Amino acid sequence: MRFLANKQERTRFLKFSFVGVTGTIVDFGFMNLLSLAFHLPLVWAQGISFSIAVINNFLWNRYWTYPDSRSKNIRTQLLQFVFINIIGILIRTPLISWLNNLIMQFLMRSGIQLPLEDIVISQNLALTISIAVILLWNFFANRYWTYSDVSAGSENKHSTPSINQDAGSKEMN
């Protein structure tokens, strides 16, 4: 409950969520491109799209959500962020397949006529639900591990450092 009372943490959560929306757009775009245009199997398409979205999200979170997180080396933070997201994809991969099958069966049995093909609806709905499931995991795991060098009440009182400043930083953990 202390988290909800802390304005800075609520702001970080909102920024993290907004970054997640940009990652979701990247994720959906690449998943649909790879699965529908290039006919990659759904599991492979979502794995690739997820990876591209993780890189997008790390950069936005590093420089916008947590600009005051600089005592850790950028490579260390990237590895931590990727590790947390690997756990997320390990949850998401079987979940998206299971949900896709469940939704597809429902659509086929229901006989509902929709403007899009059932496969497009089922894949995108399965991805939406999967993303919602791992949002909280990703936020809290990253907040308290990847960005643990930022205190709960820390305000960003300086401008975002340049990439050269990041490259010269030393890891303190």
Mark the ranges of the chain whose per-residue pLDDT is less than 70: 1-4, 153-173
Residue 169 included in any domain: no
Residue 144 included in any domain: yes
Which pLDDT value is given to residue 150?
A: 87
Residue 26 included in any domain: yes
pTM value surpassing 0.85 = no
Residue 44: give the domain boundaries.
2-150
Residue 160 included in any domain: no
Reported as a single tens digit per residue, the pLDDT across 30-60 is 999 999 999 999 889 988 998 899 999 999 9
Query: 127 vs 21, 87, 99, CA distance in Å?
Result: 13, 16, 8
Q: How many domains does the chain have?
A: 1
Residue 166 included in any domain: no
Residue 133 included in any domain: yes
Residue 158 included in any domain: no
Residue 167 included in any domain: no
